[in-house]
Amino acid sequence: MKPRLVAVIDHRMAAMFTGLLLVLLGILLALPIPFTNYPFGALLLVYALALLERDGALMLACWAVGIVVIVVFGVLSGALAAAATQWIGGLLA
């Protein structure tokens, strides 16, 4: 690790975007979906490493992987919630 693409780390909008992704990953980390804590935890650790080492290239990779993970697991958790609601509604009807 070495400082690369430091402008990505230092830019204000990049810092806000990184913060937004970290908050969304934290929310998804708290969801009780089996076996999802590992990718979220690993991604949060890599974000921390990129910030500590001021590695903009690693941060760009984290952004790409983070967006994919948020979209995939966000859709998955929404689908699971809808299926659970439908299943519970069927039990009560």
User: How far is residue 47's CA from residue 24's CA, in Å, rounded to a whole number?
Assistant: 13
Q: What's residue 45's pLDDT?
A: 94
Query: Which of these, 82, 65, 78, lies nearest to 21 by C-alpha position?
Result: 65
User: How far is residue 58's CA from residue 23's CA, in Å, rounded to a whole number?
Assistant: 19
Q: Write the CA distances from 29 to 12, 39, 56, 69, integer angstroms.
A: 25, 9, 24, 11
Tell me: the pLDDT tens digits for 21-80?
999 998 888 877 778 788 888 999 999 999 999 999 999 999 999 999 988 887 887 888
pTM beyond cutoff 0.85:
no
User: How far is residue 9's CA from residue 51's CA, in Å, rounded to a whole number?
Assistant: 7
Q: What's residue 20's pLDDT?
A: 94
Q: Where are the alpha helices (DSSP H) in 1-93?
A: 6-10, 12-30, 37-53, 56-92
